[in-house]
Structure 1
Amino acid sequence: MEDYWIRRFEDRDYEEAREVLISGLNEHSSTLFRCALQQPGIQLALLSVFLVLALAVLAVNRTAYQFVSICWTEVALKDDLLDIKKSYMETSDSFFWVADCNGKVVGTIAALPFKEMVGALELKCLSNKVKSDGQGGLKVRCRAVIDFAQANGFQSTVLCTSVIQHEGKKLYERLGKILLQRTARDLKNILL
C-alpha cells in the first residue's frame, strides 16, 4: 500500500490537477446526462426540437412533391396532350378514347403509329382517374386499341413505359398476358 500525504497546491501542480478534475467530471457525465434528461423542462425542449425538425422535414417533402408534380405536369403537357384533337384525331392511323362511367370520364387511352417500328401501333395515354372504381374499363380500352390496330393494318401493338412506373409496369405485364391469351394473333409485341 502506498502512502499518501496532503500538501498545499503549488503552481507546478496546475496541469496534473486539471487532468484529475476533468477525469473525475467525465466519470459523472453519463449520470449527469441521465439526470438532465429526466428534467421536465429538458424533455419539453427536446420534444419541441424533435417536432420542429419533423415538421420541417414534412414541409420540405411536401414542397419538393409539389415542385416535382408541377414540373412533371409541364413535361407531360408539352406535346401531344396540348392539342389532343390535332395529335390523335386528325389522321386515320391514330385515335384517342375515353372511358365513360355515368357521364364522367374515368380513363383514357390513345394510339399512334410507332415511330421506331414499321407496322406497329403504339398504345399511349393509358390513364385512370385516381379515385375511379376498378380500372375504368381497362380491358375494354385496350381491346379498342387492338381492334383499331387490326382495322388499320398494323401488325403489332407496342407499349412503352418509364422505369419509374412500377405499379403501371405490373399492370401492363398482367394486361399483356391477358390480351395475349385472348388475342395471340392480334398483339404481337409489348415493349416495356
Structure 2
Amino acid sequence: MAPHHICKYQETDHKSILDLFFQGMVEHFPATFRHILKLPKTILVLLGLPVARLLVSGSWLLALGSNVTLLVYLWMLARYAWRKYAVKYLREDLADITKSYLKARGSCFWVAESGGQVAGIVGALPVKDAPPGKKQLQLFHLSVALENRGEGPGKALVMTVLQFVRAQGYSEVVLDTTIVQEAALTLYRHMGFQKIREYFPEKNL
C-alpha cells in the first residue's frame, strides 16, 4: 500500500484534479448503461420493439436491427449524461477551485497525494438553505484515481471532511450520489452515512 497524505488544494494540482475528476466520471458509463437496461420500461421496449418491427416489416433482420439501434442509443445516452455532468462542474466550481472552495469561511478543498501524484480529491461547502436549526456542510466531488483504489485515500478524505465538520461547528455533513456509484455508496455506508431521500433525474438526461 503506497503512503498518501492529505493537504489543502494548491494551484499546481489544478490540471491533475480536472483530469482525475473527468476520468472518474467516464468510469460510470458502463454501470449507468447496465442500470438503464434493467429498468422495466427499457425491458418492455427491448421485448416489444422487435415484435412490432417484425409485424410491420416481416423481416427478422430488421426486427433484430431495431434492438441493436436502441442499445447503441442507450449507450450514447449514458455517455452523454455523464459527460454533461462532468463538463458542467469543470466549467463551474472546478474551473476556479480557490475561488469556489477556499475564499469563503467554512469551506475547503482537499487533495490526497501519493508518490507525488494526485490520488484523490474532495470539496466541501456550507449548505445555504439548510433546515432551521441545522448547520450543514455538503461534500462534493469525492473521487479517487483508479490506481489508488483500495489504498485508503477515499476514506482518509472523508475523515478529513468529518474532522473539518467538527472543527467548524457544523451539525451535519450531507452529500448526493447515484445508485451506479457502488464503491462510493459502500464507503459512505461504512462511515455511518444514512440515506435520507432519493430522486430520479432521468427526465433531465
TM-score with structure 2 setting the length: 0.52
Compute the RMSD of aligned alpha carbons.
3.2
Partner of residue 69, structure 1: 82
Q: Which runs of 5+ in 2 are unaligned?
A: 1-58, 198-205
Change (3 A) 1:175 1:157: same
Query: Kindly tell me: are residues 147 and 52 of structure 1, through their superposed partners in 2, closer, same or farther at Cα, counting changes over 3 Å?
Result: same
Q: How does 1:101-180 map to 2 (within 5 A)?
A: 101-115=114-128, 116-117=130-131, 118-134=134-150, 136-152=152-168, 154-162=169-177, 164-165=179-180, 167=182, 168-176=184-192
* CA distance, structure 2, for counterparts of residue 156 and residue 165 of structure 1: 28
- CA shift for structure 1 position 137: 1.3
Q: Deviations over 1:1-44 (max 9, x none)?
A: xxxxxxxxxxxxxxxxxxxxxxxxxxxxxxxxxxxxxxxxxxxx
Using a 3 Å threshold, how does the CA distance of structure 1 residues 86 and 141 change in structure 2: closer, same or farther?
A: same
Q: Tell me, what secondary structure is at the counterpart of 2:75?
A: helix
Percentage identity across aligned positions? 29
Give the aligned residue type for 1:171: L
Q: Structure 1 CA distance, aligned partners of 2:178 and 2:136? A: 22
Alignment-mate amino acid for residue 110 of structure 1: G
Matched, 1:94 2:110: no
Q: Deviations over 1:144-171 (max 9, x none)?
A: 112222332x142312214545623333
How far, CA to CA, are the matches of 2:113 and 2:157 in structure 1? 11
**Larger Cα Rg: Structure 1 or Structure 2?**
1
Taking a change above 3 Å as real, the CA distance of residues 191 and 89 of structure 1, as seen in their structure-2 partners, is farther
Q: Is the 8 A contact 1:107 1:127 kept in 2?
A: yes
Please tell me the residue identity of whatever aligns with 1:103.
Answer: G
For normalisation by structure 1, the TM-score amounts to 0.55
The structure showing larger relative contact order (alpha-carbon pairs under 8 Å, at least 6 residues apart) is 2
Q: Deviations over 1:62-82 (max 9, x none)?
A: 332332232222333353222
Contact 2:136 2:174 in 1 (8 A): no
> Which is further off, 123-132 or 102-111?
123-132
Amino acid at match of 2:139: L
Query: Which structure 1 segments of 5+ residues have no match?
Result: 1-44, 178-188
The AA in structure 2 aligned to 1:108 is I
Distance 1:60 1:190 in 2: 32
